[in-house]
Amino acid sequence: MFVMCKREFISLFKGIKSIIMIAILFAVSYYAAKFSSVLSSGVELTAGEAEDIHTIGLLSVILLLGQLFVFGLSHDTINREIHERTMRFLVTRASRSTILFGKFLGIWFFWLFCIVVSFLLISIFSKKFDLFIFSQTMSLVTYQAALAVLLSVLIPRPGYTMFLGNILGLMLPAFGFWAAFSPNGWVNWMKYFIPFYYLERDDFTFLVILGLAGMMLLAAYAVFRRREC
């Protein structure tokens, strides 16, 4: 699993897309933290919100564009290998669980690296490393990575996942917030399957997001273990 994880982790740093995304993430984190006093002066904030104001830039990017970023880089993590038949070399050497979970961990560590660096940049101005917000952010990224892996297993053609990934990446945050705050019973129940409901609380319910990610990964594995390569 370590070999697959390492390969996926390193491959995510290659390519112009990832460089642009990392640049956006770091730039937004740094400048939003740097000018957080300007942001806080314009709006009335509670003491807790004022304390976390340095992370607002990073959280906004992750909440609104995170899914798009993760899909952008990893929508084809499994299906491209099946489509191009390089997967044949992998499944004849390693178990399918090793391949799937190894790839997921590679994606997860890539985002862990990016988020840690972003938080370190923020800490230059906030003078602290907020572990709670960091954990919440990582739980959201875990969910997003698991969804990308699931999509890549369910849809065999990389072209389709790219298209669907872009649509979902843009729609999911909007839909998530709508489901979380809408009184409409037809939509409201869906909030339990989307991370935003768990993130708006200041307690450890965000851990449920990890459970959702785990379920998506198990579903992806159930499909992948029967998939012809």
Partner 1 sequence: MNAIEAKQLSKAYGAHQVVMGMDLAVRKGEIFGFLGRNGAGKSTFINMLTGIVSSSSGTYSLLGVEGPDSKVLKRVGVMPDYSSLYGSWTALDHLRFFSELSGARASKEKCLEVLRSVDLLSHANKKAGKFSFGMKKKLGIAQAIIHDPELIFLDEPTSGMDAESVILIHRLIKEFQKQGKTVFMTSHNLDEVEKICSRIAIMRDGIIDKIGTMEELRAFYRSTITVKIKHSTVPKQEQAKLEQWLESAGSLLEHGDTYTVITISDENKIAEMIRAFTQCKTDVLRVEVEEPSLEEIFLNE
Q: What residues make contact with partner 1 under the rule CB under 8 A? A: 3-4, 7, 84-86, 88-95, 98, 225-226, 228-229
Nearer to partner 1, 3 or 23 (CB): 3
Nearer to partner 1, 59 or 87 (CB): 87
Least distance (Å) between residue 109 CB and partner 1: 17
Q: How far is the CB of 32 from partner 1 (least distance, A)?
A: 36
Cβ 7 to partner 1 shortest distance, Å: 7
**Min. distance of Cβ 191 from partner 1 in angstroms?**
37
Q: What minimum distance in Å lies between the beta carbon of 228 and partner 1? A: 5
What CA–CA distances, in Å, run from 103 to 16, 23, 161, 177, 215? Answer: 20, 23, 17, 29, 16
Residue 84 or 202: the one with the smaller Cβ distance to partner 1 is 84
Which residue, 56 or 78, is less far from partner 1 as judged by CB? 78
Buried b (16+ CB within 10 A) or exposed e, 147-156: bbbbbbbbbe
